[in-house]
Amino acid sequence: MTLSKQNWYSIIVAAIVVAVGFAGFNIHAARKAEKEQAMIYQLKQLREAVQLYEMVQKAKPIDLKAAMVVTIDGKVVPIQWAFEKDASGNPLDPFGAPYRFDTKSGWVKSGTAGYESW
């Protein structure tokens, strides 16, 4: 049994479509993993900033923006963070959602669905 040119063409096109589909899936998975790693790092930084604020100021910050500023000898020194920020200056997680801050416990968490418990 021999395949006609039309059948070979169809097989090649189908193989290319499958390969492109796998490549797209792998790229998406890699980007998601990269964002998750960035979120782990950012959450660690934000939580440490809250702890540092509590140690220096002897109180919990009123919001995350307050924790991202250090007061040394009465001088306000903003810390340079590598976070994306919204129009109000609140830090955004790598997925684009604002980080959430519990003022009672001092806990920082992601606002992205599925990552709230990180």
CA distance from start to end of the chain: 58
Q: What tens digit of pLDDT does each residue of 93-115 get?
A: 999 999 999 999 999 999 999 99
Q: Which two tokens stand for residue 2?
A: 């021999």
Domain locations along the chain: 5-109
Q: What tens digit of pLDDT does each residue of 63-97 get?
A: 998 888 877 788 877 777 778 889 988 899 999 99
Residue 98: closest CA among 58, 25, 8, 89: 89
The lowest-confidence range among 22-26, 35-39, 53-57 is 22-26
Average pLDDT over the chain, rounded to whole? 88
